[in-house]
Amino acid sequence: MKLRTAAARTRRISADEAAAHVHSGMWLDYGASVSQPDAFDRALARRVGVIDNVKIRSCIAMRPRAVLAADPEGRSFHFFSWHFGGLDRREHDAGRCHYLPLNLGEAPDYYRRFLDPIDICILKVSRPDAHGRYNLGPTHLWLRTVIERSRVVILEVTPGMPAVAGDHNLVNPDEVDYVIDGDDAPLPELPNPPPSDVDRRVAELIAGEIEDGACLQIGIGGMPNAVCSLLAHSPIRDLGIHTEMLTDGIVALYRTGRVTGACKAIDRGQVVYTFALGSHALYDTLRDNPAFSIRPVEYTNSPQVILQNARAVSINNTTQIDLQGQCASESDGHRHISGTGGQLQFVRGAYASPGGKSFICLASTYDKRGERRSRIVFDLTRGNIVTTPRTDVMYVVTEYGIVNLKGKSVPERARALIGLAHPDFREGLERQAHAQRLLPRGLSF
């Protein structure tokens, strides 16, 4: 724990006074998702042109950043993100936001071992409790490490931030330099679009592989949420949750009584997560709820932790897969769209769990500029980033079926993945596979 001296104990100041502590060339940290500051961000934007080369780390921006809107040429402020949401992607397309590659669960180690101390961190928190302690709310991730590694800690107190249960989610006053008042705006929500017919078909295939007592990690998107919806109406019992992101789908499944955590070897009876994004109903469910335990990302995402729960199941999306099983889940060529996140760590942790399974799911096709294209390809799009290597992929699922690639040769993989492609693209994929000898002539299985 980082303790402040008596001479530097917490002072309440205005957002403009807080922003005045920022000088040219500094590294700031805005935390992640709903912990990112707004009042401070607007105050810092008012200093555009006065300071320059200020670099800001963040993750999944949930509101437009005032500093970027005020500085379209990027002379004063530069943004760096550990994982892109839609707003980060838009700023990246404009050249104002840059990706920081990592396995998300390794972030605390990066801050401790490889990054210089942060000049100033600014984090949104709840109102203080009876003991004067602030709560980090539904985003923990690496925020404790950010506080420990910051020369100056500024908290933006926000009435709408729920206090949530979990180890190390409290911040003591003697860890803080300055406190500013945030606004009364409710926490930003993440929309939950209804699942498509393809989402539901993929979900049916995955749900059929989940057993009583399984411990789930559910990723973001329509397909994983559709799995939750199906499980909510299934006879499956005593599910556990050990996940990176907590979603509305998981909470809805919890409300059915099918999530008990009774079979977990660690954190029995608790829903474990490291950040939550969704509706206000999700945030309200977490408020002071001891059934949900928020933990540091180095714990939730560690394969060595994940594998301790038997029948661990990871369910994640990809955007493109080649005929050898390489999954590109975070870019469209050289255009970055999301991030590695915890996908690879959960794939590895679930596979190593006794009876564990990992699923990579995708729709077989997508539309781009009015043209239907296959997500299953012979060669990945030039510049695409491989998120999960072929050696790690276990189950692959599209609306046309499910295959397990573990133990399969390259020809067997190619044949199996062609069978998961949309029928309109199978013949072309097979021709390419034969031409490049992925499928030798005369070989059958």
Domains for the chain: give ranges and CATH numbers: 6-181 (3.40.1080.10), 197-435 (3.40.1080.20)
Predicted pLDDT at 4: 56
Residue 386 token pair: 């491989």
The reported pLDDT for the residue numbered 364 is: 98
3-class SS of residue 161: coil
Residue 444 confidence (pLDDT): 77
**What pLDDT does 105 receive?**
98
CA–CA distances in Å: residue 167 to residues 232, 263, 385, 443: 29, 21, 34, 56
- Output the six-digit token pair for 272: 């474990």
Cα distance between residue 218 and residue 80, in whole Å: 26
How is residue 95 written in tokens? 């050249």
d(CA 322, CA 376): 6
**CA dist., res. 309 & res. 297, Å (int):** 17
Distance CA 44, CA 317 (A): 37
Residue 68 burial (10 A CB sphere; 0-12, 13-18, 19+): buried
According to the model, what pLDDT value does residue 9 have?
Answer: 62
Give the residue numbers marked as catalytic. 244
| Whether the predicted model's global pTM rises above the 0.75 cut | yes
What pLDDT is attached to residue 445? 74
Residue 40 has phi, psi (to 5 degrees) of -65, -40
301 in Cβ contact with 244 (< 8 Å) = yes
Determine the pLDDT at residue 7.
43
Determine how many CB atoms are found less than 10 A away from the CB of residue 269: 13
Per-10-residue mean pLDDT, the chain, length 445: 53 97 98 98 97 97 96 94 96 95 98 98 97 97 98 97 94 97 94 90 95 94 86 94 96 95 97 97 96 98 98 97 98 95 98 98 94 97 97 98 98 97 98 93 76
